[in-house]
Amino acid sequence: MTHWVVLYRKEMKEMVRNYKMLWIPIVFILLGVMQPVSAYYMPEILDTFGGLPEGTIIEMPTPTGEEVLMDVISNYGLLGVFILVLSAMGVVSAERQSGVAGMVMMKPVPYSSYILAKWAGLLTITLISLFIGYVISWYYTSLLIEPVTFERIFQSVVIYSIWLAFVVTLTLLFSTIMKGNGSVAFITIFVVFAISTVTSILGEYMKWSPAMMTEYTGQVLLSGELDSNFLLAFITTMAIIIVVLFSSIQIFKQKELLE
Amino acid sequence: MELIKANGLVKRFGNTNAVKGINFHIEEGRCVALLGPNGAGKTTTLKMLSGLLEPTSGSIDFKGETAKDLRRFIGYLPQYPTFFNWMSGKEFLVFAGQLAKLNRKEAEKRSEELLERVGLTNAKKRRIGAYSGGMKQRIGLAQALIHRPKLLILDEPVSALDPIGRREVLDMMREIKKETTILFSTHVLHDAEEISDDILIMHAGEITISGSLESVMEEYRQPILQIEFESQANDWVKSIASYSFVSEVNMQGNKASIVLKDMVKGKQILLQDIVDRKLPVRKFEISQTTLEDLFMKVVKA
C-alpha cells in the first residue's frame, strides 16, 4: 500500500513537471468548446463563406443542447482517444527502455504496486481532462444554445469515463508488452477502433461490448433513459479491465528489467 | 558467517546457457570481486542475486534460509544506472528510500547523510539529468545504500569512469567495506587486487576459481623469469623449452617470460647458458605470476 502511494505520487509529480497535467486538459477543453461555438455561429459562417444565391432561404435547424454535447462526446471518442493513447503509450515501455523501471524494481516493490500506480495515474489524468473539458463545454452549450440538465450531464460523463478508462487500461497493457512507443500507440488505437467498428456493425450481438458505452452515453444524453443492457456492458467492461490489469502485472513480472 | 549462498544457479536465455549451474557463497563482512571477461555471465549472476532476474533453476540462500524476496537485504548498482532525469538528486534518494520501506522522515535524513558521504550535497537540488557520469555513479551508489543493505552488489562500478572518478568510487568502496558486505564485478584486475578480500573468477557461465585473494594467489602463483634482450634471441628462447624445469615460454618482441618449475636450478642453468653463448641481455628479472597471468590462463584454457 505504501509503495503504491509513493509510486502514485511520483506519477502525479512527473505529469506536473512535464506539463501533461496542463496540455491534456487544454486539448479536452478546446475540443469541448469548439462544438457549441461552431454550432452557434454556423449560420454566420455559412453566410460569410457560403456564396449562396440571393434570396435562398435556408432552414437551419438549430441543434438542441443535447445534440451539441453528443458531438462533443464523439470528438472525444476520436481525437480525445488519440491524444490519451499518445500521451500514455510510454507509460511502462519508456521506463523499461531507459532502464529506470529496473531501478525502481530492485527495491522491494511488489510488481502489482508498480502497475496499479501507473494505472491510477492514467485514470487521474483521463478523468480530470474529461470532466473539466466536458463541464466547460456544458457551460458554453448552456450559454449559446440551450441549458441541459445537470443530471444528464453527470450521468453521461460517468458512463463515458468508463469507456476512456477501458482505453487507457488497454494502453497500459500494450505498453507493458511492447517496447517501442510507436507500436504501442498503433496497436492500441487499432484495437480500440476495431472494437468500436465491430460493435457498431454487429450491434445486436454486441450489447455487452465496452464500446457500447459510447452508445449508452448518447442515450442518456438524448432521452435521459438507459437501455437495460447497460448493466451487462458495465459488468463485462469492468471484468475486462480487471483481467487486463491482472495480465499486465503478470507480464511485467516476466519481463527482464535492466538489460 | 555465511551471508548468501548460491546453489546450482542456472540461467538460460532461449537456447544459450548464460550461467551454467554455479555454486558459491559469500561470507559476511567480506569484499568479493567477481572477475571474468565480457560475456562470462557476471551481470546475469548479479541480477539473479539481487532478485531482479528469476533463475531458470537453482536457489539462493540468505543467512541459511531459502529467501523469497531478497531485494530488502540488497542494494544494487547496475552497470548503467538510470534515473528519473526530472528529479533532483535528493528527490530521487528520498523516493528510493521510501520504496525501500523507510518512512518519509527517515528517508530524508538518510538521503542527507548519503549525499554528504558521496559528496553531492552541493548538487542535491539540481536535476539528475544535468549530472555528469561520475556524479550519476555516485548518486547510484547512494541509492543502493539508502536502506542499509546487508549486501551491496555493484556491477562494474568503475569501468565507465575516468581515472579521477574511478579513484573516488574505489575510495568510497573502501569506506563502505567497513560496514557492509560487498560483491562487485569488474574486468579491471588491478581494482580487484586493490580492494577485494575474496575473488571469484567466472568464465563461460561457470565459476572456475574461487577463494580468498591471498590463497588463490598463493595456490596459483608460479615463479617467472623475465629476460629482455638487446636484439632478437629467438633461437635460444625456443631451445630452452626442452629443459625439464621450464613449463612455459612466451616471447614478445625482445622480451621473454619463462615460467619455471624449479627457480633455483632454472635460473642458474639459464644464466650460465646466457653467459656461455654471449647473449646480449638488457634485463634479467625474477618475479611471480600476477592475477592477470592467472586470469589470462583461465580464460584461454
Terminal-to-terminal C-alpha distance of chain A: 28
pLDDT > 90? residue B296: no
For chain A, the domains span 2-258
Residues of chain B above pLDDT 90, percent? 48
B99·A17 Cβ contact <8 A: no
Q: Which of B51, B71, B80 sits opposite A99 (nearest CB)?
A: B80
Predicted confidence (pLDDT) at residue A114 exceeds the cutoff of 70: yes
| CB neighbour list of residue B40: distance below 8 Å, 6 or more residues apart | B202, B203, B204, B205
pLDDT of amino acid B285: 87
Query: Chain A 14-53, CB below 8 Å of chain B: which residues?
Result: 14, 17-18
pLDDT single digits (tens) A43-97: 777 777 766 666 666 666 778 889 999 999 999 999 999 999 999 999 999 999 9
ipTM score assigned to the predicted complex: 0.89
Shortest CA gap A23–chain B (Å): 18
CB atoms B98 and A6 under 8 Å: yes
pLDDT score for A94:
94
Residue A130: count of CB within 10 angstroms of its CB: 24
Q: Which residues fall within 8 angstroms of residue B51, CB to CB, at 6 or more apart? A: A106, B69, B70, B71, B74
Q: Looking at residue A1, what is its pLDDT?
A: 60
Nearest CA in chain B to A114: B99
List of residues 6+ apart from A115 with CB closer than 8 A: A92, A172, A176, A245, A248, A249, A252
**Yes or no, beta carbons of A107 and B147 under 8 Å apart:** yes
Residues from chain B that touch A17, judged by Cβ atoms under 8 A, are 86
Identify the closest residue of chain A to B149 by CA–CA distance. Answer: A107
Mean pLDDT of B261-282: 85
pLDDT at position B197 is: 93
More confident residue, A203 or A75: A75
Comparing CB atoms, the residue among B74, B78, B99 nearest residue A258 is B78
pLDDT of amino acid A50: 66
Query: In the predicted model, is pLDDT for residue B257 greater than 70?
Result: yes
Nearest-angstrom CA–CA distance, A29 and A80: 10
Taking only the tens place, the pLDDT of each residue in B214-230 is 888 888 878 888 888 88
The x, y and z cell numbers of residue A73, run together, are 462526446
Residue B273 exposure: Cα atoms within 13 Å on the Cβ side: 15
Residue of A106, A113, A118, A257 best to disrupt the B interface, most CBs of B under 10 A: A106
Q: Is the pLDDT of residue A192 over 80?
A: yes
**Cα distances (Å, whole numbers) of residue B283 to B73, B224, B228:** 53, 14, 5
CA angle B171, B172, B175 (to 5 degrees): 95
Whether the per-residue pLDDT at B86 is higher than 80: the answer is yes
Q: Does A107 touch chain B (CB under 8 A)?
A: yes
A108 shares contact with chain B (CB less than 8 Å): yes
Instruction: Look at residue A54 in the predicted model and tell me its pLDDT.
Output: 67
Segment A167-192 mean pLDDT: 95
